[in-house]
Amino acid sequence: MIIVLKSGIGDPEIDAVCRRITEMGYSPHVIRGEFKTVVAAVGEERGRPDLRLLEAMETVESVMPVQQPFKLASREVRAEPSEVRVSGVVVGGPAVVVMAGPCSVESQPQMLEVADAVKGAGARILRGGAYKPRTSPYAFQGLKEQGLEYLSEARKRTGLPFVTEVLETESVELVAEHADMLQVGARNVQNFTLLRRVGETGKPVLLKRGMATSIQEFLLSAEYILSAGNPHVILCERGIRTFETTTRFTLDLNAVPVLKKLSHLPVVVDPSHGTGHWDLVAPMAKAAVACGADGLIIEVHPRPEQALSDGPQSLKPSKFTQLMRELGPVAEAVGRSL
């Protein structure tokens, strides 16, 4: 950490800051500039008090971190990319993995119809929401356990593993019994109890970035799962909140190469939630693959205008099939396969 002192601070105050740094377990190094004095505090930070506390001292102007606060998620601990296996499907390897299915599981026929369609088009993992986080208490909240059963049926029929969201700690066990991968949704990215709990299951976890989560916070959320002993974490960019309103969120594809630079974890992209409009899904899906995403998660519904949630951003099976056809060449153009 670099501790920047206020202008005009004299030696006794500099000594006081150094003393406090030493008490906290670090070695202080004073550097005097023409206008500003800074103190570098050297030492392992994890397990010691947080030096940012020094901002509470009236002589300190600011404290600037030098190290990233995450460890297990970082490239510095593991240089080569990680692969996560979801019941046999490898995410983070040479192939770009497409996960697809309805936003909500609505009925057995709906789930099976979509599952057949997305399998036929080349999807490798099914998705479908049984427990739904809804902004309004008056909206459809999901079929819950029944939904898990329809997903299991769809898996049996198609041979594809499935990912589904787990909303709360109480249902982690139940969902983990059924699902091949647990999804932690954007609204739960800093639900630290839930992160620890899904970490303890040892199951693959698809961790979605929150709508106001910085990259650093996102990797710290992954760190919660990793530090619970579960290395099977896949990061998912799904749109952040900005001033722009023509899209539901602003899908931040920059996050893909940034996450790849800072972390060894696989990164997938959700262009359906990220844009909120079905006609933007295809171009943004291609862009995601072009900038290095390891996978995509896409909403598909046979009759979007009757969907119980997120119809406006769902692709019809025919459009999804066309997208899969178009994605192949893009994947190849960047040295991957679909």
Q: Which of 10, 15, 64, 177 binds a second copy (CB under 8 A)?
A: 64
Smaller CB separation from a second copy, 85 or 196: 196
Smaller CB separation from a second copy, 159 or 245: 245
Q: Which of 15, 19, 55, 156 binds a second copy (CB under 8 A)?
A: 55
Q: Torsions phi, psi of 105, nearest 5? A: -75, 120
Q: Contact, 338 vs 95, CB < 8 A?
A: yes
What is the closest distance, in whole angstroms, from the C-beta atom of residue 85 to a second copy in the complex? 24
Question: CA–CA separation, 314 vs 310, rounded Å?
Answer: 7
For the chain, how long is the longest CA-to-CA vector?
A: 76
Element (H, E) at 31: strand 27-32
For residue 285, which of 313, 245, 327, 257 has the smallest C-alpha distance? 327
31 binding a second copy? (CB under 8 A): yes
Kindly write out the interface string for residues 240-269 of this chain, putting x where it contacts a second copy by CB under 8 A and - elsewhere: xxxxxxxx--xxxxxxxxx--xx-------
Q: Which of 22, 146, 306, 318 binds a second copy (CB under 8 A)?
A: 306
What is the closest distance, in whole angstroms, from the C-beta atom of residue 168 to a second copy in the complex? 4
Which residues does residue 183 pair with via DSSP β-bridges, in sequence order? Answer: 165, 206
Q: Residue 87: how many CB atoms within 10 A of its CB?
A: 14
What is the closest distance, in whole angstroms, from the C-beta atom of residue 13 to a second copy in the complex? 13
Bridge-based pairing state of the strands 162-165 and 181-184: parallel
Instruction: At 12, list the tokens.
Output: 């006794």
Q: Which of 10, 19, 22, 29 binds a second copy (CB under 8 A)?
A: 29
Instruction: At 25, list the tokens.
Output: 């377990």
Instruction: At 109, list the tokens.
Output: 């026929």
Q: Contact, 184 vs 176, CB < 8 A?
A: no
314 binding a second copy? (CB under 8 A): yes
Of residues 86-105, those binding a second copy (CB under 8 A): none
Burial readout 192-208 (b: 16 or more C-beta within 10 A, e: otherwise): eebbebbbebebbbbbb
Question: CA–CA separation, 41 vs 82, rounded Å?
Answer: 33
Q: Judged by CB under 8 A, how many residues of this single chain contact a second copy?
A: 108
22 binding a second copy? (CB under 8 A): no
What is the closest distance, in whole angstroms, from the C-beta atom of residue 207 to a second copy in the complex? 14
Which residues does residue 263 pair with via DSSP β-bridges, in sequence order? Answer: 74
Of residues 207-226, those binding a second copy (CB under 8 A): 210-212, 214-217, 220, 223-224
What is the closest distance, in whole angstroms, from the C-beta atom of residue 215 to a second copy in the complex? 5
Q: Contact, 124 vs 273, CB < 8 A?
A: no
The span of 68-76, 92-100, 121-129, 150-158 binding a second copy (CB under 8 A) equals 68-76
289 binding a second copy? (CB under 8 A): yes
Of residues 180-199, those binding a second copy (CB under 8 A): 187-188, 190-194, 196
Smaller CB separation from a second copy, 111 or 285: 285
Of residues 319-338, those binding a second copy (CB under 8 A): 326, 329-330, 332-334
Smaller CB separation from a second copy, 160 or 213: 213
Element (H, E) at 181: strand 181-184
107 binding a second copy? (CB under 8 A): no
